[in-house]
Amino acid sequence: MDYANNILETIGNTPLVKLNKLTAELPCLVLAKYETFNPGNSVKDRMALQMVEDAEAAGLLKPGGTIIEGTSGNTGMGLALAAVVKGYRMICVISDKQSKEKVDILKAVGSEVYVCPTDVAPDDSQSYYSTARRLSEEIPNSWYVNQYDNPSNTKAHYLSTGPEIWEQTDGKVTHFVVGVGTGGTVSGVGGYLKEQNPNIKVWGIDTYGSVFKKYHETGIFDENEIYPYVTEGIGEDILPKNVNFDIIDGFTKVTDKDAAVYTQRLAKEEGMFLGNSAGAAIKGLLQLKEHFTKDDVVVVLFHDHGSRYVGKMFNDDWMREKGYIE
Ligand SMILES: Cc1ncc(COP(=O)(O)O)c(C=O)c1O
């Protein structure tokens, strides 16, 4: 018999899938690391489990304990699966710009969910960063995950996602393109790939309203770059410790409209029903066209599943209201 002992054992070993139509104008092979095959439907299952297991090993998370995290949904899902299997209480703190589906999904897997306002500074007492921290101080035997600064986030991708991409491409990958939020994915995968071959180029996808691109190019944390945006999962108004700017060769920014339109196009033209950051990632990759030549093997990572966006990017009324489609 061939079976997993629990759902957590099915995390990882996701397929690599060729893009065909959307990338027809490019000279190179473009392959998608298709992370929705993880049991929580996102890449974040990998780092969630790593963070939990490292916290257990360090004695930070103890039997009967409570896991607390500020999460846009996907990390919460991964943590919630680990909490269910391992018997912890789970609390997710989420910002109110995230889709309602994400909140409902977290509740479905047994998590308690606190929703906080988006349009406040990170150090405001109402922000989801502050709320998560406060709850972890108030609730005994609790552990605040802090995916932004927790090194196990990057480590998960260094130990699993990076080696998988290297092996699946037979070491032929030349570019890695990925949306950047906490930075765990880009830093872990990029770091691993560059250790195998320093010539591999790593590109981060950023969004307008986020500080990453300017900080990478100038070293300046420019508060004028910060404003609310629609794209989910990528860009930040802080500099998470998990973003290793040194291994990133460059950033490109994608507009909210383009990210939303390309999220729809991935589904309609490639049969890839994916989340909003996948739309941003593929549009960003197309913006980088001049960097690719015919022998290149470009890997783009798609973080999460389209089901979380049926009320938004897959709802044409919402798309029209935003002015993204006619
Ligand atoms: C949908 C989605 N895309 C992209 C990202 C960014 O990934 P990372 O945090 O590893 O930089 C996240 C992170 O939460 C996400 O949920």
Q: What is the pLDDT of residues 89-141, one digit of tens each?
A: 999 998 887 778 778 889 999 999 999 998 888 788 898 889 999 999 999 99
| Protein residue whose Cα sits closest to atom 1 of ligand 1 | 233
- Per cent of the chain over pLDDT 70 is 100
What pLDDT is recorded for position 191? 98
What pLDDT is recorded for position 167? 98
Q: Mean pLDDT in the chain?
A: 96
Which class is domain 44-144? Answer: alpha beta
| Protein residue whose Cα sits closest to atom 9 of ligand 1 | 182
Q: Which residues are catalytic?
A: 44
CATH of the structural domain 7-37+158-319, one choice from 3.40.50.12780, 3.40.1360.10, 3.30.420.40, 3.40.50.1100: 3.40.50.1100
pLDDT tens-digit readout, 210-256 = 999 999 999 999 999 999 999 999 999 999 999 999 999 999 999 99
What pLDDT is recorded for position 95? 84
What pLDDT is recorded for position 165? 99
Asked if residue 72 has pLDDT above 70, the reply is no
Q: Residue ranges per domain, the chain?
A: 7-37+158-319, 44-144
Closest atom of ligand 1 to CA, residue 181: 11
- Average pLDDT over every residue of 184-206: 98
Q: Which among 81, 78, 69, 87 has a CA at the least distance from the CA of 46?
A: 78
Strand 297-302 relative to strand 29-34, pairing = parallel
Full-model pTM: 0.95
Same fold, 7-37+158-319 and 44-144: yes
What pLDDT is recorded for position 234? 96
- 63 burial type by CB count under 10 A (0-12 exposed, 13-18 middle, 19+ buried): exposed
Pocket of ligand 1 (CB under 6 A): 44, 72, 74-75, 179-186, 232-234, 275, 277, 303-304
| Protein residue whose Cα sits closest to atom 13 of ligand 1 | 233
